[in-house]
Chain A
């Protein structure tokens, strides 16, 4: 009897031991796999951040220069390689690459006079693995919205451009976030006398303020922050809606002097707005010098692809501080 009893206890102990061992093994394995996964994620996270950092760096360097200068340098490099020049308005440039074998972006940097060596960076170095940087530059398509943050300006500086008299621009807007926003359209003029060019004195009609509105045409249906009846509603519910066409070579008479449109400025108010524009007639190249270029830099770091892109206007404009007659950034006046 005692022997049977002892055997019975031995079996139970064995079974319990087996169970404990199996459970322990499962836990150990899960901990192992979990730590492996965390490690992988950490590495990927790091690679992702490095890819963004690389993209950011290259964009910052390139945007120091006018877009046209960048293209000119690209074409000169292509010329040395017996490649055709391309028109950046209509053509498409293949992405410039920077990897262990290709040095196209470095060459561009050198041509632009940048002394930075992007091949020997401490993060995501080209020398490791399949790391690679790419630069794509092209004209932004018509449906790309340029974002304007509140207080900032987008402009069409027409001065100095040879624009056909028939050219007009159609500008459309879109909400970017809050609908409680609007914009101010400011037109400035200079005299047509190119030698002693003067600027037309300010006139109330040079400014038009728009608020985003729905189909009812009431600003305040969307925005209780805007007052006065002088706001012009801009229907954001209708995707076909746009500002009345603006003649790019609009001329006006003032005090006996003929002035021509010098600049169209759009200032965002209350929130970020999106803007896109087209020109008519389409057969004329009305937007020569007024286009938006799309610059994208991406990096493949340890198999993680991340990048950044910006829209760069062909022609830039004066600082928005000079649009204020009073700017009191602290306290009350």
Chain B
């Protein structure tokens, strides 16, 4: 148990505090220094105090509020202080002491400071307080004057031992993790790497060899002072470490490698190309007794920053190239001088002068891409661009990079060309020998010197993970393994001052992932300092030169359609997407695919008419230099998508009966072209309902979608507008093509390559005639040769009427088939619409027309008014040769169509061009109206049984065995 005695006596407040603490703790206040040791049962102290205590807890008098205790006794026994009070006197008030007599209160022995011994003084220490922060204590045993032993403890102070370190042996600077040992000769500074572009103070380090802390010191540190001279000693002045110049700085720490931290300037602004400077380094050791330091002598070293190569106008720099590169021929020395007239017209004969190689200059572009601007920039269809690589133009690109190094041409070791979409290129990509794939957003190519000369430079492509991979076959591939570019003809020419790198880069198409869009073209020429020893290449200072577009995809012809205005005019509408670049131009061509179309066509707003020639090979269509075209030129900024809706009105003039093939050729900025043909179908087409449709060859023009043509509502007697299609049952053809259905929901099916055994030439008339004769013997027929106005007036007596002639039979307009009627001619049957049956007739009464040669359908009465009307015939038509629907209303703008209820069967036995031939033509109304509408009816099959009886195909099968 230790209690302070000095302060206990002197300061009453401490006493009170001690008392209070003593009541609640078994330990007393302790202090180092003199201590008094009490023995058990010893009276520790007894004295007066005149302080009112504020303790409100119950207990003895001394605890009473506003009470002064006059005598307080503390007795120590059993390890605990026991206290007692007496002669308590009341205080006169709160905060006012009472009075009491303390004369009888001092009955204990008061211990004195420990005495009778002196602590020792260790070596290197002193008992004199020298202010050293390093002290120690020594103790000895004495007594306190009351019979108790005690300890005397004394402080001893260290005598300082620190000494200064020797001068550093060397000083290094590390730039981009490349360490350079700096020269101590100011005349021969060490050339250091120009820091990479995004270098900060953390990335450039200065260092001196590290040392261990000597035992005589309390610490060891490193101190640097850097005086950056800048270019041509522009900053050679130096102040001090407290107020350094913005480019200078001092740095001190316990780390021997410290950041290069100019006081105000950035590292790149300080360590600029060609800049010099002095870097001093020293050690310091720390005193043991205080914070004082002792510094060694400094090592003073000197650096000079490397100059990186700059891109240059090769022709102006390298005289060696002048003789070999035609682009470098100066006009006065070249062929142009022999023909002054060329000088004014041929841009190649005009000396462009030296290109400053600044960003986005046209001359800069031509310096790097040497083949643009001539025939390589012109497509086979006459499209020209100096801004894009397309499938055809500026592809391959002949890339040339020339570099000059102020530190000497020998320092140049390589070059990089880069196409970057983001312009966020890596700074220090690592060279690896493994090439995997290249991102199509960033295509970089590295050419490196291999050995001492440039005979076989090494080629690297940038990997998707931003490392360089060695390429030996010249192929750059994407992540899918598809080739996206091809490098060839890599040539490096070293001149006296400039090194020229030339490569041919072909960008490849037909990949799922290929280069596309606008790229920043960048390049950099590398010197030896930019090739780091760990394999990284500093391309952080790569320079963006200009934008270069790449579009290796043809424009997408999204839509090409028309809108018919009337029988001669239509709008040609298109929707074209440039895909990766904007639309630069659209060329309209027109051709004919059949000789029936033989007039010119015109486009509103264009002075020229297009002469419709036959369709040439596709590569001859859409030339921008062709005059028999309509050309739409679009200007910058180019729209990615061009939509023309109801603005381009074409007049087909007098053409009809064939197809006008309109070709729309779109050009994007990459001069890629794509064309789509749109046929203006002027051929008539057939709509049928019921029955089977068969054609040996084509079924003619396909049915058109007329679902929104209101003019067709209620026009036909036997077919609704919604039912109009080529057929509603089986549609078959002997050939291998058949047009699509417009309304497949009607239930029709199609079949191609279908043989139909009913296709028999020179057979049916005789066969049916034979069957007729058999029926004649069974049924009674009225037989005549010349038709009257109706069946009933022609065949008065019997229900079955046979009109048979060995000559032509002409059915007059208005003829009514009001009996079972068969019209047979051994030559032609001429039908003049209208030929009708009696109203609401579903019985077998009707007409079958059977001609040994042709059935000719005349134009009939005009039915069209403001819209297309239809002539009408009811009857089943069978011709051994041809059914010809003759043209009609030739001079009318709106012509009649034809509706037939029954069927058309023609065998083409006389080798006709077509067994069923439609000469009627509605011109552009073909798009909204069928020319011929035929509705099948079972009644004619039943009627055929009257005249031709029934039959069944029977196939004989051989029985028995043939001997061999």
Do A and B assemble together? yes
Taking beta carbons and an 8 Å cutoff, which residues of A are in contact with B? 41, 44-45, 48, 51-52, 55-56, 59, 63, 147-155, 157, 182, 184, 188, 191, 196-202, 204-205, 207, 209, 225-231, 267, 269-270, 296, 298, 304-313, 315-333
Q: B952 touching A313 by the CB < 8 A rule? A: yes
Residue B963 lies at the interface, judged by CB distance under 8 Å to chain A: yes
Specify which chain B residues have a CB less than 8 angstroms from the CB of A307 in the assembled complex.
Answer: 958-960
Residue B307 lies at the interface, judged by CB distance under 8 Å to chain A: no
Residue B149 lies at the interface, judged by CB distance under 8 Å to chain A: no
Specify which chain A residues have a CB less than 8 angstroms from the CB of B907 in the assembled complex.
Answer: 327, 329-330
Query: Can you list 24 pairs linking A and B with CB atoms under 8 Å apart?
Result: A148-B953, A149-B955, A152-B757, A157-B950, A191-B842, A202-B689, A202-B691, A209-B749, A225-B751, A228-B750, A230-B744, A298-B960, A307-B959, A313-B952, A324-B758, A325-B904, A326-B727, A326-B904, A327-B692, A328-B694, A328-B904, A330-B909, A332-B914, A333-B914
Q: A226 touching B959 by the CB < 8 A rule? A: no
The listed residue (B903, B939, B964) touching A326 by CB distance below 8 A is B903
Residue B548 lies at the interface, judged by CB distance under 8 Å to chain A: no
Q: Given the complex of chains A and B, what is the CA–CA distance between A273 and B728 in angstroms? A: 23
Q: Given the complex of chains A and B, what is the CA–CA distance between A304 and B962 in angstroms? A: 8
Complex interface residues of chain B between 910 and 964 (CB less than 8 A to chain A):
911-918, 934-942, 944-945, 948-964
Chain A residue at smallest Cβ distance from B903: A325
Q: B950 touching A317 by the CB < 8 A rule? A: yes
Specify which chain A residues have a CB less than 8 angstroms from the CB of B426 in the assembled complex.
Answer: none
Chain B residue at smallest Cβ distance from A267: B692
Specify which chain B residues have a CB less than 8 angstroms from the CB of A188 in the assembled complex.
Answer: 938, 941
Q: B959 touching A309 by the CB < 8 A rule? A: yes
Q: B749 touching A328 by the CB < 8 A rule? A: no
Q: B912 touching A331 by the CB < 8 A rule? A: yes
Q: Given the complex of chains A and B, what is the CA–CA distance between A202 and B698 in angstroms? A: 26
Chain A residue at smallest Cβ distance from B842: A198
Q: B941 touching A322 by the CB < 8 A rule? A: yes
Q: Which of A55, A327, A329 has the most CB of B within 10 A?
A: A329
Chain A residue at smallest Cβ distance from B771: A319
Q: B755 touching A150 by the CB < 8 A rule? A: yes
Q: A319 touching B768 by the CB < 8 A rule? A: yes
Expressed in whole angstroms, the minimum distance between the Cβ of A298 and any Cβ of chain B is: 6
Residue B747 lies at the interface, judged by CB distance under 8 Å to chain A: yes
Q: B696 touching A231 by the CB < 8 A rule? A: no
Q: Given the complex of chains A and B, what is the CA–CA distance between A305 and B906 in angstroms? A: 44
Chain B residue at smallest Cβ distance from A303: B963
With A207-B729, A328-B916, A330-B696 known to touch, is A323 a contact of B691 (CB < 8 Å)?
yes
Q: Given the complex of chains A and B, what is the CA–CA distance between A259 and B413 in angstroms? A: 98
Q: Given the complex of chains A and B, what is the CA–CA distance between A41 and B756 in angstroms? A: 39
Q: B938 touching A199 by the CB < 8 A rule? A: yes
With A321-B764, A322-B940 known to touch, is A209 a contact of B729 (CB < 8 Å)?
yes
Residue B748 lies at the interface, judged by CB distance under 8 Å to chain A: yes
What mask results when residues 745 to 782 of chain B are scored 1 for a CB within 8 Å of chain A, else 0? 01111111111111101001000100100000000000
Q: Which of B698, B754, B906 has the most CB of A within 10 A?
A: B754
Q: Given the complex of chains A and B, what is the CA–CA distance between A311 and B738 in angstroms? A: 36
Pairs of residues from A and B, 6 with the lowest C-beta to C-beta distance, nearest first: A330-B908, A325-B691, A198-B842, A151-B756, A202-B690, A333-B700
Specify which chain B residues have a CB less than 8 angstroms from the CB of A229 in the assembled complex.
Answer: 744
Q: Given the complex of chains A and B, what is the CA–CA distance between A61 and B586 in angstroms? A: 74
Q: B937 touching A327 by the CB < 8 A rule? A: no
Expressed in whole angstroms, the minimum distance between the Cβ of B503 and any Cβ of chain A is: 51
Residue B876 lies at the interface, judged by CB distance under 8 Å to chain A: yes
Q: B908 touching A331 by the CB < 8 A rule? A: yes
Q: How large is the interface on B (under 10, 10 to 19, 20 to 34, 35 or more residues)?
A: 35 or more
With A149-B953, A325-B693, A331-B914 known to touch, is A228 a contact of B698 (CB < 8 Å)?
no
Q: A318 touching B904 by the CB < 8 A rule? A: no
Q: B903 touching A227 by the CB < 8 A rule? A: no
The listed residue (A55, A202, A327) touching B758 by CB distance below 8 A is A327
Specify which chain B residues have a CB less than 8 angstroms from the CB of A231 in the assembled complex.
Answer: 749
Specify which chain B residues have a CB less than 8 angstroms from the CB of A197 in the assembled complex.
Answer: 843
Q: A332 touching B698 by the CB < 8 A rule? A: yes
With A188-B938, A199-B938, A310-B955 known to touch, is A149 a contact of B757 (CB < 8 Å)?
yes
Q: Given the complex of chains A and B, what is the CA–CA distance between A111 and B244 in angstroms? A: 142
Specify which chain B residues have a CB less than 8 angstroms from the CB of A313 in the assembled complex.
Answer: 952
Chain B residue at smallest Cβ distance from A182: B751
Q: B744 touching A328 by the CB < 8 A rule? A: no
Q: A270 touching B751 by the CB < 8 A rule? A: yes
Q: Given the complex of chains A and B, what is the CA–CA distance between A30 and B741 in angstroms? A: 71
Specify which chain B residues have a CB less than 8 angstroms from the CB of A330 in the assembled complex.
Answer: 696-697, 906-909, 911-915
Q: Given the complex of chains A and B, what is the CA–CA distance between A322 and B949 in angstroms? A: 12
Q: A225 touching B754 by the CB < 8 A rule? A: yes
Expressed in whole angstroms, the minimum distance between the Cβ of B777 and any Cβ of chain A is: 12
Expressed in whole angstroms, the minimum distance between the Cβ of A81 and any Cβ of chain B is: 27
Q: Which of B688, B911, B955 has the most CB of A within 10 A?
A: B955
Chain A residue at smallest Cβ distance from B844: A199
Q: B962 touching A230 by the CB < 8 A rule? A: no
Chain B residue at smallest Cβ distance from A202: B690
Specify which chain A residues have a CB less than 8 angstroms from the CB of B696 in the assembled complex.
Answer: 328-331
Q: Which of A52, A157, A306, A326 has the most CB of B within 10 A?
A: A326
Expressed in whole angstroms, the minimum distance between the Cβ of A187 and any Cβ of chain B is: 10
With A230-B749, A331-B912 known to touch, is A324 a contact of B939 (CB < 8 Å)?
no
The listed residue (B751, B754, B764, B915) touching A328 by CB distance below 8 A is B915
Q: B758 touching A48 by the CB < 8 A rule? A: no
Chain B residue at smallest Cβ distance from A312: B954
Q: B962 touching A48 by the CB < 8 A rule? A: yes
Q: B695 touching A332 by the CB < 8 A rule? A: yes
Chain A residue at smallest Cβ distance from B915: A330
With A151-B757, A184-B692 known to touch, is A322 a contact of B959 (CB < 8 Å)?
no
The listed residue (B728, B758, B843, B951) touching A151 by CB distance below 8 A is B758
Chain B residue at smallest Cβ distance from A148: B953
Expressed in whole angstroms, the minimum distance between the Cβ of B818 and any Cβ of chain A is: 15
19 other A-B residue contacts (CB within 8 Å) besides A149-B953, A321-B758:
A52-B958, A63-B954, A184-B692, A202-B936, A204-B747, A228-B750, A229-B744, A230-B744, A306-B960, A311-B954, A316-B949, A324-B691, A325-B693, A329-B759, A329-B761, A329-B906, A330-B909, A331-B912, A332-B914
Specify which chain B residues have a CB less than 8 angstroms from the CB of A296 in the assembled complex.
Answer: 959
Specify which chain A residues have a CB less than 8 angstroms from the CB of B913 in the assembled complex.
Answer: 330-331
The listed residue (A201, A226, A306, A324) touching B692 by CB distance below 8 A is A324
Residue B905 lies at the interface, judged by CB distance under 8 Å to chain A: yes
Chain B residue at smallest Cβ distance from A228: B749
Complex interface residues of chain B between 857 and 909 (CB less than 8 A to chain A):
876, 878, 903-909
Q: A308 touching B952 by the CB < 8 A rule? A: no
Expressed in whole angstroms, the minimum distance between the Cβ of A181 and any Cβ of chain B is: 9
Q: Given the complex of chains A and B, what is the CA–CA distance between A186 and B414 in angstroms? A: 83
Complex interface residues of chain B between 191 and 247 (CB less than 8 A to chain A):
none
Q: Given the complex of chains A and B, what is the CA–CA distance between A313 and B953 in angstroms? A: 9
Q: A226 touching B750 by the CB < 8 A rule? A: yes
Specify which chain A residues have a CB less than 8 angstroms from the CB of B953 in the assembled complex.
Answer: 148-149, 152-154
Expressed in whole angstroms, the minimum distance between the Cβ of A303 and any Cβ of chain B is: 10
Specify which chain B residues have a CB less than 8 angstroms from the CB of A227 in the assembled complex.
Answer: 738, 749-752
Specify which chain B residues have a CB less than 8 angstroms from the CB of A226 in the assembled complex.
Answer: 749-751
With A321-B905, A331-B697 known to touch, is A150 a contact of B938 (CB < 8 Å)?
no
Residue B686 lies at the interface, judged by CB distance under 8 Å to chain A: yes
With A202-B690, A298-B960 known to touch, is A319 a contact of B944 (CB < 8 Å)?
yes
With A230-B749, A327-B906 known to touch, is A151 a contact of B688 (CB < 8 Å)?
no
Specify which chain B residues have a CB less than 8 angstroms from the CB of A321 in the assembled complex.
Answer: 758, 764, 878, 905, 944
The listed residue (B747, B912, B944) touching A322 by CB distance below 8 A is B944
Q: B753 touching A225 by the CB < 8 A rule? A: yes
Q: Given the complex of chains A and B, what is the CA–CA distance between A312 and B764 in angstroms? A: 22
Specify which chain A residues have a CB less than 8 angstroms from the CB of B941 in the assembled complex.
Answer: 188, 318, 322-323
Expressed in whole angstroms, the minimum distance between the Cβ of B341 and any Cβ of chain A is: 60
Chain B residue at smallest Cβ distance from A298: B959
Specify which chain A residues have a CB less than 8 angstroms from the CB of B954 in the assembled complex.
Answer: 63, 310-312
With A207-B747, A227-B750, A323-B691 known to touch, is A318 a contact of B916 (CB < 8 Å)?
no
Chain B residue at smallest Cβ distance from A310: B954
